[in-house]
Chain A
Amino acid sequence: QVQLVESGGGLVKPGGSLRLSCAASGFTFSDYFMNWIRQAPGKGLEWVSHIAPSSTMKHYADSVKGRFTVYRDNAENSLYLQMNSLRAEDTATYYCARDLNWSVDSWGQGTLVTVSS
């Protein structure tokens, strides 16, 4: 069955960096757009970034543009989010989610990133 498993979250100081990973299984990863979506504690969902199946297109929310980089390794069925210059407001649970034909139909369980000194 479809499975998305995020990892790499943790506690990091403001200005620090972190790389999140999302391991995909149970489907043809290279067919799907992939997204990163986050949720600050007690807040709503915020779309962060997405990447086309062959990495030819990448988009970012204004709140992370220039600081976060999304990339993928289709051979390893993995999605990544490199997060630099982290701020307190980046504290959130980060989810990866797949989409095909504008249907965001499967999410991971999320990984918590805490930015604090």
Chain B
Amino acid sequence: QTVVTQEASLTVSPGGTVTLTCASSTGAVTSVNYPNWFQQKPGQAPRPLIYSTNNKHSWTPARFSGSLFGGKAALTLSGVQPEDEAEYYCLLYSGGAQPWIFGGGTKLTVL
């Protein structure tokens, strides 16, 4: 069964840049995994940020960007704001009997 791995936690300073990654146990993440990224704050439902690797929703702030790098999906935050402190989850499409798989999440601290 595919396992999707994210960094457990990262810390970034306000105004800084940070990259979160999302890896698959079955091999390189590619565009056909259609990586989605979500932000979740305590007590709230997840908020979609990115779909199909690098596409932003209309509400996604410009400082968020998605990419593929080194066989992983990546979410980069540039010019981090205090309100970006949250848990971030990636979601990969793998097709087959269990088409969607979440990563374990990255807790981002802005300090």
A104 and B38 CA atoms in complex are apart in Å by 9
Is B62 at the interface (CB under 8 A from chain A)? no
Is B14 at the interface (CB under 8 A from chain A)? no
Q: Mark A92-112, 1 if CB is under 8 A from B, else 0.
A: 000100000111111111100
The number of inter-chain residue pairs (CB within 8 angstroms) is: 62
Name which of B36, B91, B100, B101 has the most chain A CB atoms within 10 A of its CB. B100
A45 and B4 CA atoms in complex are apart in Å by 12
Q: What's the least CB distance linking A46 to chain B, in Å?
A: 6
Q: Mark B35-57, 1 if CB is under 8 A from A, else 0.
A: 01010100001111001100101
Q: What's the least CB distance linking A91 to chain B, in Å?
A: 17
Is B111 at the interface (CB under 8 A from chain A)? no
Residues of A within 8 Å of B87, CB to CB, are 44
